Structure 1
């Protein structure tokens, strides 16, 4: 299925050369209602933030790709909000742009309604993968996943460690 910004127009023409011979000439045309190199205004998405930062630095997608090691197609997919970037990719992109991965990932906008959501936000704002966070806190990855899904609550000694990591909010 095509995105709402993209329309496909296809025409089939049947041509009969000899009786019993049928050839089909096909032409396809794609059109978009967005111009290349533009991003909708006022959006707080990783794609919008990446696009804005790249444009402010006067970098092309190719130049950012070379500087970060992230494929140009991946950058385009992120900027067009077709791909939600992993923290690992955000870290690579953030470095040449002089930004934090949490900013590019819009982690500052994550909800904090439950303990699990707060733990996940603290992890991501500290730019830690599940493995890095688990090692930092002193538990295994599965335990962190269970905390973030609100299936289990951390013991008080782990909660103290997690809370101490919330420096970005002060």
Structure 2
């Protein structure tokens, strides 16, 4: 935690790692400023109060050992910076675009059927005020009622703040169902 490189991690799946409920095993996608994102497994003890903010689809802070990128420590961001707030803010204040589904891959391999499945979506976005389309990859929970919307070639409504690789892109499932 003291010497690690700061980054962000998207939680893909989580489960209890041992008989002690505080020990958790996470499958995460880590994004560091100096390299491409990668997926890894993290086992660590998590306080009960923090578990609510460390669920599939949430983006948390992390520290990565510069000598071993698979040594990762996860911790939730400050409450005002959580991904849920970010998602709500992007949906409320973000610009709108139309996305075409290029690929959809389940990333929560231990999905138990109790929560929405978490998918990695490769999308091509078109916004009326951008000169051309761009491609993004987002990882987020997909409501079970919207699973048919992620078929290849289908169109989704999305909100975004800026043209990037997907960091500020959120699928608007309600608007996509209506379209």
What's the TM-score once normalised by structure 1's chain length? 0.27
Kindly indicate which of the two structures has a greater share of residues assigned to strand.
2
Structure number with bigger Rg:
1
Kindly indicate which of the two structures has a greater share of residues assigned to helix.
1
